Amino acid sequence: MNYLPIFIDLTRSQCLVVGAGEVAHRKIETLLKAKAGVVVVSKTACTAVAAMAAAGDIKLELRGYIPTDMNSPSLVIAATGDHALNKCIADDARRCRIPVNVVDNPALCSFIMPSIVDRSPVVIAVSTGGAAPVLARILRTKLETIIPASYGRLADLMHDFRGTVREKLPHGIARRRFWEQAATGSVAERMFEGKDQAAVEELEKLLAGTDRGAPSGEVYLVGGGPGDPDLLTFRALRLMQQAEVVVYDRLVAPQIVDLCRKDAERVFVGKQRDRHALDQVEINTLLVRLSRAGKRVIRLKGGDPFLFGRGGEEIDTLAANGINFQIVPGITAASGCAAYAGIPLTHRDFAQQCLFVTGHQKDGTTTLPWDVLVKPQQTIAIYMGMHGIDELCAQLVAHGMSGEMPAAIIERGTMPGQRVLVSTIADLPVAAKNEAYAAPAIIIVGEVVKLRDRLAWRETNARQPPPQSSAPRRG
Ligand SMILES: C[S@@+](CC[C@H](N)C(=O)[O-])C[C@H]1O[C@@H](n2cnc3c(N)ncnc32)[C@H](O)[C@@H]1O
Q: Nearest Cα to 421, choosing from 344, 343, 386, 473?
A: 473
Q: Are 336 and 303 in contact (CB under 8 A)?
A: yes
How far apart are the CA of 394 and the centre of ligand 1, in A? 22
Cα of 451 vs centre of ligand 1, distance in Å, is 22
Q: Please spell the DSSP secondary structure of 40-92, one letter per residue.
A: EE-SS--HHHHHHHHTTSSEEE-S---GGGGGS-SEEEE--S-HHHHHHHHHH
Q: 328, 362, 385 — which closes off a domain?
A: 328
Give the CA distances from residue 99 to residues 95, 223, 391, in Å, rounded to whole numbers and listed in that order. 10, 50, 76
Could you read off the pLDDT of 50-69 as tens digits, one per residue? Answer: 999 999 999 999 999 999 99
Determine the distance from the C-alpha atom of residue 53 to the mean position of all C-alpha atoms in its chain, rounded to a whole number.
Answer: 36
Q: Is the dihedral of CA 232, 236, 239, 243 positive or negative?
A: negative
Question: Which residue among 308, 387, 410, 421 has the greatest number of ligand 1 atoms within 8 angstroms of its CB, and so is best to mutate?
Answer: 308
> What's phi and psi for 24, nearest 5 deg?
-60, -40
Q: With pLDDT > 70 as the criterion, what percentage of the chain qualifies?
A: 93
Which residues carry out catalysis? 249, 271
CATH number of 251's domain: 3.40.1010.10
Helix (H) or strand (E) holding 358: strand 353-358
The reply to whether 424 and 349 lie within a common domain is yes
Confidence of residue 215 (pLDDT cuts 50, 70, 90): low
Residue 418 CB partners (closer than 8 Å, separation 6+): 337, 340, 341, 410, 411, 412, 458
DSSP state of 368: -
User: If you average pLDDT over residues 359-383, what whole number do you get?
Assistant: 87
3-state helix, strand, coil in the chain (%, to 5): 40, 20, 40
DSSP, res 444: E
| pLDDT, greater one: 302 or 213 | 302
> Model pTM?
0.75
Q: Cβ contacts of residue 223 below 8 Å, gap of 6+? A: 233, 236, 301, 302, 303, 304, 305, 306, 309, 328, 329, 330, 331, 332
Instruction: Please tell me whether residues 204 and 227 are part of one structural domain.
Output: no
Chosen domain end from 208, 227, 255: 208
In a domain, 198, yes or no: yes
CA of 224 to the centre of ligand 1 (A): 11
Tell me if 338 is assigned to some domain: yes
Together in a domain, 83 and 187: no
pLDDT attached to residue 364: 62
Q: Give the pLDDT confidence score for residue 469 in this predicted structure.
A: 45
Does the structure show a pLDDT above 60 at 466? no
Shared-domain flag, residues 393 and 285:
no
Mean pLDDT, range 299-327, rounded to an integer: 93
**Last residue of one domain, picked from the residues 300, 328, 356:** 328
**373: three-class secondary structure by DSSP:** helix
Mean of the pLDDT values across residues 454-471?
A: 62
Domains of the chain: total: 4
- Pocket test of ligand 1: the residue of 230, 231, 233, 251 to mutate, having most ligand atoms within 8 Å of its CB, is 251
Q: Looking at residues 175-192, what average pLDDT do you find? A: 87
Domain membership of residue 122 (yes or no) is: no
* 237: containing domain: 218-328
Per-residue confidence (pLDDT) for residue 211, from 0 to 100: 46
Residue 389 confidence (pLDDT) above 70 = yes
Q: Which residue did the predictor score with more confidence, 185 or 103? A: 103
Write the single-letter amino acid at 251: L
Length of the chain: 475
* Confidence band, pLDDT 50/70/90 cuts, at residue 71: very high
* Alpha helix ranges (H) inside 365-441: 370-373, 389-398, 428-434
**CB within 6 Å of ligand 1 — which residues?**
226-227, 251, 301-304, 307-309, 332-333, 337, 383-384, 410, 412-415, 439-442
pLDDT over 90 (residue 424): yes
Q: What is the pLDDT of residues 1-13, one digit of tens each?
A: 888 999 999 998 9
Pairing of strands 14-18, 378-383: unpaired
pLDDT, one tens digit per residue, over 433-460 is 999 999 999 999 999 999 999 999 987 5
Tell me the pLDDT of the chain averaged across its residues.
Answer: 91
Question: How, if at all, do strands 419-424 and 473-474 pair?
Answer: antiparallel
